[in-house]
Structure 1
Amino acid sequence: MKELAYADINIGDSASFAKTITEGDVVNYAGLTGDFNPVHIDAEYAKESMFKERIAHGMLVSGLISAVLGTQLPGANSLYLGQDLKFKAPVKIGDTATATVTVTEKRDDKRIITLKTTVTNQDGVVVIDGSAVIKKVGL
């Protein structure tokens, strides 16, 4: 992966990453975090929930934002300082989630970048909306 220099990052720059959420993703995330909420793990329980079927963990899906920030924009040698997330709609197993980040502000004296962060599903529905603050420590 090629590192972007701070000077080469501009307001309006954008990058995305898409992933289809699998049964394995949900089970592995539950095992890693200990979050065995039955709406994620138990199909019978989930049928009776407001979602009518199992859904992915919100933080699992929001991790796609981290993937974009850490590998594409601003990319390597960036420190994640903060994230604001608003969960708008569920992501179900089999949905394809696309995380998109867009640079909205740069603070040159501290090399801090603010980005709009959005995750949409395969139908274009916004499932997560928010913003991230990153400090670029590399180039």
Structure 2
Amino acid sequence: MFIKKNFEEFELGYTRCTKERTIAAADIDFHAKESGDYFPHHMDEEWCKTQPFKKRIAHGTLIFTIAIGLTADFVNEAAMTYGYDRLRYIKPVFIGDTLKVTVTIKGKKDHKKPGCGLVTEMVETFNQHNELVMVCEHILLVNKKEV
């Protein structure tokens, strides 16, 4: 879906939730192949049985990628990603976990580029037990309304 939402139209505190996605072993395997990260925490089931979590853990970068992908259910033609801040992995994610994301408008401020502002979204990723597993801030560069 395409929309055009200018800087002035973002409301502080507005929250939206995404659909869900379940993490499969194939997701982890594919991410390892694409990233080159074959650490045993992600790939070696037998080794993982000797570790505190007792099972394979999804890559943090995989969880970030999936979480941000879940938030991309529409394209705002008046905005683009400026960056991400304060990325934290709170709890591990395992094969079979189902993730959903909540996005809340946390802040707005002017940008040095004329006609633009910055909108900060708090991106919170939860598992099927409603436990926070990842959090970050997504910063958008957004056009202001033409006057």
TM-score between the two structures when normalised by the length of structure 1: 0.86
Q: Name whichever of 76-85 and 47-56 sits farther off.
A: 76-85
1:103 to 102, 105, 129: 105
**In the alignment, what sits opposite 2:58?**
56
State the AA in 2 paired with 1:133: I
User: Does the 8 Å CA contact 2:25/2:95 hold for their aligned counterparts?
Assistant: yes
Unaligned runs of 5+ in 2: none
User: Does the 8 Å CA contact 2:84/2:136 hold for their aligned counterparts?
Assistant: no
- C-alpha displacement of 1:35: 0.6
Unaligned runs of 5+ in 1: none
Structure with bigger gyration radius: 2
2:121 to 115, 119, 130: 115
> Which aligned pairs between 1:57-136 and structure 2 lie closer than 5 A?
57-72=59-74, 75-76=76-77, 77-109=79-111, 110-136=116-142
**In the alignment, what sits opposite 1:42?**
44
- C-alpha displacement of 1:65: 3.3
**In the alignment, what sits opposite 1:5?**
5
- C-alpha displacement of 1:121: 0.5
Alignment CA distance shift 1:121-1:42 (3 Å)? same
3-state DSSP of counterpart to 1:111: strand
**In the alignment, what sits opposite 1:24?**
26
CA distance in 2: counterparts of 1:19 and 1:80, whole angstroms: 25
User: Does the 8 Å CA contact 1:65/1:101 hold for their aligned counterparts?
Assistant: no
State the AA in 1 paired with 2:121: L
User: Does the 8 Å CA contact 1:82/1:132 hold for their aligned counterparts?
Assistant: yes
- C-alpha displacement of 1:34: 0.5
State the AA in 2 paired with 1:60: L
CA distance in 1: counterparts of 2:33 and 2:134, whole angstroms: 23
Q: Which runs of 4+ in 1 moved over 3 A?
A: 68-72, 74-77
Alignment CA distance shift 1:22-1:59 (3 Å)? same
Alignment CA distance shift 1:105-1:125 (3 Å)? same
Cα deviation, 1:55-105, whole Å, max 9, x if unaligned, reads 111111112332245444x74541232232111111100000112211011
Residues paired across the two proteins, number: 138
Q: Percent identity?
A: 28
TM-score between the two structures when normalised by the length of structure 2: 0.82
User: Does the 8 Å CA contact 1:69/1:75 hold for their aligned counterparts?
Assistant: no
